[in-house]
Amino acid sequence: MTNQTRLASTGELESIFQRELATDRWAATETAYALAVRHRDLGDWPASREWVEQCLRLLEGFPGETEEQVATTRMSVGGVSLPTYLHAGVVEARFGDLS
């Protein structure tokens, strides 16, 4: 587990994502969002776009009709703040041309 007082590296987040993908797809979706943010903040646009796309693909597998269904379960992942609600509209609004 990463120390929440510092930003996790993209490598650390990718390891977390792989573990979560096998055990908790919603957590993996949140981590994919965090990876998209970290790569964007580092100026790695191609990697950010890949993680945006991964996040959107994962979101397709979840219902999204109510706030409860799209509410994030954590406030942050690896030091990256998550939105209160995570759905395609939020991802597209936050990443614009990258989505």
Q: pLDDT (tens digit, 9 = 90+) per residue, 28-44? A: 999 999 999 999 999 99
User: Quick check: 27 pLDDT over 50?
Assistant: yes
**pTM check: above 0.85:** yes
Residue 87 pLDDT more than 90? yes
pLDDT band at 99; cut points 50, 70, 90: low
Residues 94, 81: Cα–Cα separation, whole Å: 13
Angle (CA) 6-78-50 rounded to 5° is 125
The two beta strands, 80-81 and 76-77, are antiparallel
